Structure 1
Amino acid sequence: MRSIFTSVASRKFFAAIALVMSLSFLSAMSLSPAYAIDLPTDDEQDVLVRTTLMTFNDANMTGNYSVLLAKASKQFREQMTVEKLTVAFESFRSKKLFFEGIVTDDYESQQKAKLDSEGALVLAGEFKNDDVQLKYKLRFAQDSEAWKVIGIDVDAKKP
């Protein structure tokens, strides 16, 4: 009888150990993406800034925010609608604050690219030319292994 008890007890013990090890492994796996995120290269950051701002500008010029919304992250799409974006950026359209000329301009980063406390990539800077001064702060999240916008803060004014 003792060998049956020992066998059952040892099975339970090893099952408990296996369960703890599995949970530890799963916990480590769930944390690893937060640590595995690499910042995009300078060239990739440049592309993110320019393409996001040009998509934003095109949306303002046309009044059609569906492409901006479609290119955004899942989190952004869940919180925003075309109608909300249309209302939020009405001042760009009414003041004709369009900035298609910046696509080839140089810009200054206001801070080094970083991941914020929520794990979002933050890119901030400023474009200046004879037609417009544009300050931006863009936030991106990894969505399907691509950086997609989750926040847009743009201040544009004519000099």
Structure 2
Amino acid sequence: MRPLRASFLALALSGLGGGACAAAQAAPSLASAQQTEAVILTRSALLALDQANKTGNYTVLRDLGSSTFHANSAAKLSEVFADLRRQNVDMSATLAQPLSFNPQPAVDAKGLLRVAGAVPLGARVLYFQIAWAREAGAWRIYGIVVTASETTP
């Protein structure tokens, strides 16, 4: 595989580093209904990012975020995801492709729901790390990291 440049949001993602994976692995796995919710949240976040990249309008992605994520302006989000946008990665197929989580989705010690994994997108594989914070009874995006790699034939 040939890695492409990463898009990431450092401000809201300080906790999504390697330690996040270790914390998620240590957490108990989610019940079946919660696993389904994690899949829905993941697809929703990836689709929101895809639509933001296609339109150049990051306000909806920002509005789906937690109060911590709101610290980022739509302009800042546009800057953060500029490389992914320039790569013209179409993430809409994430709605129909199987998501592969590694580790399995889990709520960490801080109460953040964390997912990490990959989804095939034709000649590319999309890798993601997403965290949500529970606010006002709903999961809100806390941080999102997305990278794409070309697959080798």
Q: TM-score range by the shorter chain?
A: 0.7 to 0.9
> Following TM superposition, by how much is the alpha carbon of 1:100 offset from its aligned partner in structure 2, in angstroms?
1.1
In the alignment, what sits opposite 1:114? 106
Counterpart position of 1:99: 91
CA distance in 1 between partners of 2:136 and 2:77 (Å): 23
Divergent runs of 4+, >3 A = none
Q: TM-score, normalised by structure 2?
A: 0.73
Cα contact 2:91–2:121 (8 A) shared by 1:
no
Residue 47 of structure 1: how far off its partner (Å): 0.5
Distance in structure 2 (CA, Å) of the matches to 1:157 and 1:94: 14
**Counterpart for residue 50 of structure 1:** 43
Partners of 2:113 and 2:61 in 1: how far apart?
Answer: 18
- % same residue: 26
- Matched-pair contact (CA < 8 Å) for 1:111–1:123: yes
User: Is the CA contact 2:66–2:142 (under 8 Å) kept in the aligned structure 1?
Assistant: yes
Task: Report the Cα offset of residue 157 of structure 1.
Answer: 2.7
Give the gaps of 5 or more residues in structure 2. Answer: 1-29
What's the counterpart of residue 61 of structure 1? Answer: 54
TM-score, normalised to structure 1, is 0.70
Greater share of helix: 1
What aligned pairs does 1:5-154 form with structure 2 within 5 A after superposition? 41-77=34-70, 79-154=71-146
For CA contacts below 8 A with separation 6 or more, give which structure has more relative contact order: 2
1:82-118 C-alpha deviation (Å, 9 max, x unpaired): 1110111100121112221121111211112222343
Unaligned runs of 5+ in 1: 1-37
Separation in 2, partners of 1:43, 1:114: 12
Give the structure with the larger strand fraction: 2
Once the two structures are superposed, residues 117-138 of structure 1 have per-residue CA deviations (whole angstroms, 9 ceiling, x without a partner) of: 4321111111013242111110
- The AA in structure 1 aligned to 2:45 is T
Q: Secondary structure at the match of 1:41?
A: helix
Q: Is the 8 A contact 1:97 1:158 kept in 2?
A: no
Q: Greater Rg, structure 1 or structure 2? A: 1
Shift of 1:151: 0.4
